[in-house]
Amino acid sequence: MVRGALIGLIHHQSLHLPNDKSQDSSALALISSDIDSVDSVGEIFHETWARLVEVATGTVLLAAQIQWFAFLPLIIIFGCSRMSAYVAKHLENRQKDWNAATQNRLAATTAAIEGIRSLKMMGMEDAIQSQVLYLRNNEIQASKRLRWILVAYNASANALGILAPVLTLVLFLLSSQSDGISTDQTFTALALLAMVTHPANMVMTLIPQAISVLANFDRIQAFISQTSIHDTREVSQGGSPQQSILIQALTVAPPPLYHPILCNVDLAITKGEIVTCAGAVGSGKTTLAMAVLGEATTTTGLISISSKEIAYCAQEPWLPSVTIREAIAGHLIGLDIEWYNTVIEACGLVPDFHSFVAGDMALIENNGMNLSGGQKQRIALARAVYSKYRMLVLDDPFSALDEAVAGHIMQRLLGSRGLFRKMATTVLFISNSRKIFSISDRVLLLHNSGLHPQMHLQDPKAGFEVLSLPSKIPQVLNTSNDNDSGALGENRKLHMSDAEDDTSRRTGDFAIYGYYINAIGRSNTLLLILCTAGFSFCSTFAQAAQMKVAIRSGALLHAQLLDRILTAPLSYITKTDIGTIVNRFGQDINLVDKQLPPTLANLNTQIFKLLMQLVLLVKIRPMMSLTVPVCAIGVYFIQRIYLRTSRQLRFLELESKSSLLTNFMDTANGIVTIRAFGWKEKFQKENVQALDLSQKPFYLLLCLQCWLKMMLDCIITSFAVVLIAFTISYRNTTAGADLGLALNLIIVANTTLLKLVQSWTSLETSLGAISRLKSIQDCVPTEDNTKHTVDPGLRWPSSGNLHVSDVSVGYSKSSPLALRNVSFVVKPGQKTVVVGRTGSGKSTLMLSLLQLLEPSEGSTFIDDISLTHMSPRTVRKRGFIAVPQDGLTIPTATLRFNLDPYHTSSEEEISLSLQRTGLWDKIHSMAGTTEKAVTSPKRSLLDLPMLSFLPFSAGQLQLLALSRTLLRIWSSAPHKPIVILDEVSSSLDSETESILIDILRDDLRDYTAVIIAHRVAGIMGAMRPGVDAIATMQDGRLQTVSIVDSSG
C-alpha cells in the first residue's frame, strides 16, 4: 500500500513539475532505490511494538526468577542506546548522501543510454564509461561512510546479546541475596533472558533501518513538495470572438538570469491565422512557444488563449514506446481511419510505411531510435494534425526534412487548400525557413528580447515581409486560472533520547570473584573469555568483511554491466526497452549493494552456528540430535514449494518494474507535449495500470514470504511442544541438567535451521539480480570480436582518404537491405554533401561509415586500411569526428566534460572554441547568478554542471557540438580524421549558419568531410568549385556524385 501510494504521488508530481526539473532523473532514482527501502516501514512499526511487548513480558517473568537483576539487561540496553543516539545523529545525512550519489549516477547512466546512438557516433564510449565509473566510485565512497557507522552500531547491538545473559547470572550469583541457583531455575532464567535479549536486540537492529527509511521519506517528501509549474495563461471568455492568442507586455526572465529572454512582448493572433516567428539562435523563439503553452516562467504580462488544448510539435520530437499508428492517434478514443489516411498522406508518411515490414504497426523503439530524424518529425507532426485541435504550436518541424518532402507537407497543410486552411486552424510556427515565410499570413522577427517593431525584411529571395504589430489590441475579459500545487507535507524526524540509569548496586570484592573463578576452573574461565572475545571479534569484523564484499561486488558487477552495454551493438540497444536496461543499473545494482551482502553474511552465520550447535548437542545427547534431520526434511519440502514459486514471482515483479520505469521515462521526456495536448489524466491512468501490474507479483511475493515464515514458525513450535512433553518423564532423574541443556540446544538449533532456510530463500530470490546481470554478460553481443585484429598504427589516419567499396547494409540479418551496393571515394581534404529524400539511406550510410551497422557485403577503407578488421571503438575515436544532429549532452556532467570529454584541451582552447561559435557570452548569461566567484571566472563557468544553465535551444546545442568538434580537431593534429556532420545546420538561422561556413572554410579546410544535409543552399557557400562534391541518395542507392561547379 505504501509503495503504491508513494509511486502514484511521485508520478503525479512528475506531471506537474517544470520541464527542466523533470529531466534530472530524480523520480527515476526514487522509484528505483528509495521506494524499495520505504517498503519496510509497516514491518518496522509492527516489529517494534511486538518486540517491546516481548521485552516487557520477559522482564516480568525473569523478575520472578532472579528478582531485581531482571532489569540488568534493560540497563545494558540503555547503555547501548548512547550508540543509537550517535547513529541517529549521523546516519540520516549519510543515507541521504548515498541516495543523492545514486541519483547522480542513474541520471548520467540514463542520459547515456537514451543518447547511446549519438554517443557511439562521437566515439565517446570510453569517456562516458570513465564518467559513470567516477560517479559510481563517489556512490561507493558515500556508502562506505554509512556502512562504518552501521559496523559500530552492530557491534554495540551484538554486545547486548553477548553481555546481558552472562552479566545478569554472574551478578545474581555473586549477590548476597542469592543462596545459589538450581538447575531448573538456571535454564528457566536462560530461556527468559533469551526472551528479553533477543527481541531487544531486534529492536536495536530496527533503529538504523528506521532512520534509513526516514532519510528516504525525506527525499520523497522533498520531491513531491517542489513547486509545481504555475500556468498563468487565461482562457478568454469574451473580447474578440476571433482572437486565438493574445499576449500583452510579456516578460520572461527565469532565475537566475540577469536579463530577460523576452521583454515587453505584445502579440495578437486571430483564429485561423498562420503566423511564423523567426529570429537568430537563442533569440527566444522557443521561449515564446513555451509561454503560449504555459511552460515558461513569466515575470509580467498577460497571456490569453481561446483553449488550453494545444497540439504541439517539439524541435526534438517525443514519441512513446507504442506502434506508429498508436503514436499518431494519440490518446483519442477510436480511430477515424479516413481522417488518419488523410493525415499520413499530407505528412508524407505513406512511402515510409510501405518500406516498413509492419507498416504503421511497426513499434517505435526507445523514443524512435529505429527511425530517421525526418520520420520522427513527421510522425510527431501527424499526431498534432490528427488531433484536430484548433491551435497548433510547431517548433521547427521541418528541420530534418529534405526540400521535396517539406514542400509536399507545406502545400498539404499550409497551402491555400491545405488542411489548416480548411479547418481554420491557428498555427504558431517557429522557423527560419524562407519557404514557410512565403505561405504564412504574418512573419514576426524576434530580436533583442522582443518583437522587432515596424521591420521589413528586404531580401528579394524571401518573397515575404514582416508585418508590424497592430497598434491597438482588443481587451479580454477576466478569466480563471489553473493553479497547480505540489503535495505538501511535514518533514519527519526521528527523535531519540538517551536513557540514563544511576542505580547503585552492591558488589563484592575481588576475592569473591577469585573464589567463584576457582569454582568454575581457570581453564574453563579462560575458554569462556576466549570464546566470548572471539565471538565479539568475529561478529564485529564480519560486518567489516560484509562491507568489503558489498563494495567490491557492487563496483565489479556495475563496471562489467556498464562495459557490456556500452560495447553492445546498436541493434541490441534499439530492440531492448530502455526501461529494462535502466532497471539493471537501478534495482539490480541496488540489490547487489544493499540486500545481497547482508543476506549472504547472515546465511554463513546461520550455517556455522548450526554446525557448532550440532557438535555440542551430539556431545551431550547424541540421540536428540536426530531431531534436526527430521526438521530439515520438513523444511526441505517447504522451501522447495517456496523457491519454485518465489523465483517466478520475483522475475515477474522485476519485469513489471521495467514497464513502470519506461512509463516514468516516457512521462519525463514528453512532459511538455503531454501537458500541451491535455493528456495528464490519461498518462496518470496509464501509470496506475502499470503500477497495478507491478503490484500484483510484488504483493503475491509478500504473501508467499509470510506463508514461509508462518510454516517455519509452526515447525519450530511443534518440535518444542513434542520435546518438552518428552522430557517430562526425565524431570526426576540425575540427567535432568543435561536434558535441560539438550532441550535448549535442540530448540536453538532448529531455530537456527529455520533462520538458515529463511536466509537461503531470501538469497535465492535476490540472486535473480545476479542472474540477470550474468545473462547480460553472457548473452549480449559486443561490437569487438576476434576478427577485429588490425592495428592501424599511431599515425593513422594521416591523409583522410575515404573509399567505400560496394557496401550493402541492413539493420538486422532478417530485415531488408537499407543500403545496396554503395561505392564512392572522397579524396583527402574534399567535402562531400550527401542529399536525398527522408528515408533514402543517408543516415544508414553514416551509421555504416561509423561501423554502427555491420555491412553484409563490401568494405570501407580509410587511408587504404579496411575498417572491417578494426575495433569499432578505434574507428569512431580515431578515424572519424562525428557531429550528430541532436547535440548530445550529459546533464549531470560539467560543461568542460561535455566539450572535452577526454581532457585533451587547455582552458584557453575551450574558451576559444566557445568564442569561435559565439556561445561564450551566451553561456555566461545563461549561468546567471549560479556562477561561483573564484579566482578564474572562466574556470568556474566550465566546471559548472550542465544543469546549472538554462536549457539550451536546439540551435545552441548544435553550436556546442561545433565547439566540441573544434577541440577534437585541434587536439588530433597532425592526424586527419574524417569529419561527419549530420544535419548540423538544421536548427541554425542564416546569420548563425555563417559560423558553420567559416569553420568549414578555415578550420576544416584540409580535412575530409562528409556532410549530410537537407538545407544544401546554406552550406554551398563553403563548397569549393571543382573540388568538393554532392552525392545524391535514393532508395538506399547512390544515384549520382557530381563535382560542384563555379555556378553553385
Judged by DSSP in three states, 657 sits in helix
Mean pLDDT of 936-949: 70
Whether 803 has a pLDDT exceeding 90, the answer reads: yes
Higher pLDDT: 502 or 765? It is 765
Mean pLDDT of 583-600: 82
Higher pLDDT: 855 or 725? It is 855
What percent of the chain shows pLDDT beyond 70?
Answer: 80
pLDDT confidence of residue 488: 27
Whether 641 has a pLDDT exceeding 60, the answer reads: yes
Chain segment 731-745, per-residue pLDDT in tens: 555 455 566 666 666
Whether 416 has a pLDDT exceeding 80, the answer reads: yes
- What is the fold of 29-217? ABC transporter transmembrane region fold (1.20.1560)
Mean pLDDT of the chain: 78
What percent of the chain shows pLDDT beyond 90?
Answer: 9
Across 317-321, 473-477, 565-569, least confident range = 473-477
Q: Whose grid coordinates read 547482508?
A: 598
pLDDT confidence of residue 240: 58
Report DSSP letters for 943-1006, one per residue.
TSBGGGSPPPPHHHHHHHHHHHHHHHHHHHTT--PEEEEESTTTT--HHHHHHHHHHHHTTTTT
C-alpha angle with apex 937: 932 to 940, nearest 5 degrees?
Answer: 55
Mean pLDDT of 39-67: 79
Q: How far apart are CA 949 and CA 928, in angstroms?
A: 8
Q: Report how far apart the first and last C-alpha atoms of the chain are (Å, whole number).
A: 69
pLDDT confidence of residue 357: 80
Mean pLDDT of 795-805: 90
Q: How far apart are CA 445 and CA 463, in angstroms?
A: 15
- What is the fold of 593-782? ABC transporter transmembrane region fold (1.20.1560)
| Residues facing residue 426 across a β-bridge | 391
Task: Give residue 241's pLDDT band: very low, low, confident or very high (50, 70, 90).
Answer: low
Higher pLDDT: 485 or 566? It is 566
Whether 342 has a pLDDT exceeding 90, the answer reads: yes
Across 107-111, 444-448, 499-503, 857-861, least confident range = 499-503
Q: How far apart are CA 980 and CA 850, in angstroms?
A: 9
Mean pLDDT of 540-549: 66
pLDDT confidence of residue 368: 78
C-alpha of 657 from chain center: 13
Max avg pLDDT among 367-371, 433-437, 448-452, 717-721 = 433-437
Can you point out the beta strands (E) in 314-423?
391-395
User: Residues 883, 886, 887, 889: is their CA dihedral positive or negative?
Assistant: negative
Give yes or no on whether 29-217 and 593-782 have one common fold: yes
Judged by DSSP in three states, 825 sits in strand
Give the other-Cβ count within 10 Å of 861's Cβ.
15
Chain segment 674-702, per-residue pLDDT in tens: 888 888 888 888 888 888 888 888 888 88
Task: Give residue 483's pLDDT band: very low, low, confident or very high (50, 70, 90).
Answer: very low
Mean pLDDT of 1034-1045: 87
Mean pLDDT of 57-63: 82
Task: Give residue 966's pLDDT band: very low, low, confident or very high (50, 70, 90).
Answer: very high
pLDDT confidence of residue 239: 53
Whether 229 has a pLDDT exceeding 80, the answer reads: yes
Q: How far apart are CA 305 and CA 271, in angstroms?
A: 10
Max avg pLDDT among 515-529, 638-652, 746-760, 931-945 = 638-652
Chain segment 975-994, per-residue pLDDT in tens: 889 999 988 877 777 777 88
pLDDT confidence of residue 195: 73
Q: Model-level pTM?
A: 0.74
Whether 468 has a pLDDT exceeding 50, the answer reads: no
Phi/psi of residue 636, each to 5°? Answer: -60, -45
Across 63-72, 164-173, 689-698, 830-839, least confident range = 164-173
Enumerate the domain spans of the chain. Answer: 29-217, 593-782, 802-889+952-1043
C-alpha cell at 76: 545494558
Whether 829 has a pLDDT exceeding 50, the answer reads: yes
Q: How far apart are CA 406 and CA 398, in angstroms?
A: 6
Task: Give residue 427's pLDDT band: very low, low, confident or very high (50, 70, 90).
Answer: very high
Q: Are 69 and 167 in contact (CB under 8 A)?
A: no
Task: Give residue 842's pLDDT band: very low, low, confident or very high (50, 70, 90).
Answer: confident
Q: Are 105 and 135 in contact (CB under 8 A)?
A: yes
Chain segment 989-1023, per-residue pLDDT in tens: 777 788 888 888 888 888 999 998 877 777 787 88
Q: How far apart are CA 810 and CA 370, in angstroms?
A: 12
**CATH assignment, 802-889+952-1043:** 3.40.50.300
Max avg pLDDT among 347-356, 457-466, 574-583 = 347-356
Mean pLDDT of 449-459: 54
Across 98-102, 105-109, 505-509, 851-855, least confident range = 505-509
Higher pLDDT: 25 or 843? It is 843
pLDDT confidence of residue 341: 92
Task: Give residue 862's pLDDT band: very low, low, confident or very high (50, 70, 90).
Answer: very high
pLDDT confidence of residue 513: 44
pLDDT confidence of residue 461: 38
Higher pLDDT: 141 or 152? It is 141
Whether 167 has a pLDDT exceeding 80, the answer reads: no
pLDDT confidence of residue 472: 36
Whether 790 has a pLDDT exceeding 50, the answer reads: yes
Q: Directed axis angle between helix 337-346 and helix 373-386, to 10°?
A: 140
Chain segment 908-938, per-residue pLDDT in tens: 899 999 998 888 888 877 665 444 434 344 4
132-171 as b/e, with b when 16 or more CB fall inside 10 Å? bbebbebbbebbbebbebbbebbbbbbbbbbbbbeebbeb
Mean pLDDT of 291-299: 85
Q: How far apart are CA 127 and CA 406, in angstroms?
A: 37
Q: Torsion-angle region of residue 366: left (phi > 0), alpha (psi -120 to 50) or beta?
A: left
**Cis before 256 (ω within 30):** yes
